[in-house]
Amino acid sequence: MAEQFDAAGATARLEALREFAYGAGHEINNPLANIAARAQALLIDEVDPERRRRLATIVDQAFRARDMIGGLMVFARPPKPAPARIEVDVILAPVLDAVRPAADLKAVRLEYSPPPASCVVDVDAAHITESIRLIAVNAVEAAAGRVVIHVATAGVGRDTPCVVTVTDDGPGMPRDVLGRAFDPFFSGREAGRGIGLGLPKAWRLVEINGGTIAIDSRPDRGTRVAVSLPVVQVA
């Protein structure tokens, strides 16, 4: 039986993490900016090749840390959504364009199954595009050879959500990893491969747009991430 995790069940814990993340982000960003600025200033007049290399490494790592903090801040307090009615197909087009090169590089077959009928949602398109892109990137990195993005409506009725699923044929997740899938900086992969912010950011962006994320996974049987978005009834 597949292990299942519903992000809604972790709301209290994640709220505490968000508050911590926001405060920590503010405290860390300033010294990082100072480190980067001072290293860049020293680089201007430095002529020794080895010292230049070391200073460039400091600058690069400071910017990498800044980007990590930026991702954490988005998780903690993302920008306010600017919702508009849009076809899910339109949201997914840039996702496929962004993820396909990485899939090709890994020889992963990326398949897209569009909705059988119009599926219009009222969301911030940039938020949802980014969230599904992050999920798809995770899927490609985990996949053995195939990732499927599928769109459908979950049943019938005026309140039926539009569901975007991303399924991979990778190693799947054991229960202890699945239970922490939306914790920032937690990663089930070995050290150095990813910083564990993709799924937390994706969940947060979907949540503030009135949607939900659920994960089904089992060891050695792959992972399925389902993003449910409220539909707009078109006359």
Residues 88 and 71 in one domain: no
Q: Report residue 223's pLDDT band, with 50, 70 and 90 as the boundaries.
A: very high
Where does a domain end: 76, 104, 122? 76
Question: Per-residue pLDDT averaged across 188-210, rounded?
Answer: 71
Residues 126 and 188 in one domain: yes
- Give the helix/strand (H/E) hosting 152: strand 146-153
Residues 162 and 196 in one domain: yes
Identify the weakest region by mean pLDDT among 35-49, 59-73, 106-120: 59-73
Residues 114 and 198 in one domain: yes
Residues 34 and 88 in one domain: no
Residues 91 and 108 in one domain: yes
- How many domains, the chain? 2
Residues 69 and 100 in one domain: no
What tokens does 103 get? 């899939």
pLDDT tens-digit map of 126-185: 999 999 999 999 999 999 999 999 998 765 555 678 899 999 999 988 887 787 777 766
pLDDT at 115: 83
Which conformational region is residue 201 in: left (phi greater than 0), alpha (psi within -120 to 50 degrees), or beta?
alpha
Q: Report residue 12's pLDDT band, with 50, 70 and 90 as the boundaries.
A: low
Which conformational region is residue 80 in: left (phi greater than 0), alpha (psi within -120 to 50 degrees), or beta?
beta
Residues 60 and 103 in one domain: no
Residues 150 and 211 in one domain: yes
CATH assignment at residue 20: 1.10.287
Task: State which residues form the domain around 24.
Answer: 6-76
Residues 143 and 108 in one domain: yes
Based on DSSP, count helices (H) and strands (E) in the chain, helices before strands.
Answer: 6, 8
CATH assignment at residue 126: 3.30.565.10
What does the alpha-carbon distance between residue 230 and residue 158 come to, in Å, rounded to a whole number? 10
Residues 67 and 113 in one domain: no
Contact between 17 and 184 (Cβ < 8 Å): yes
Residues 119 and 215 in one domain: yes
Flag whether pLDDT at 190 surpasses 50. no
pLDDT at 196: 58
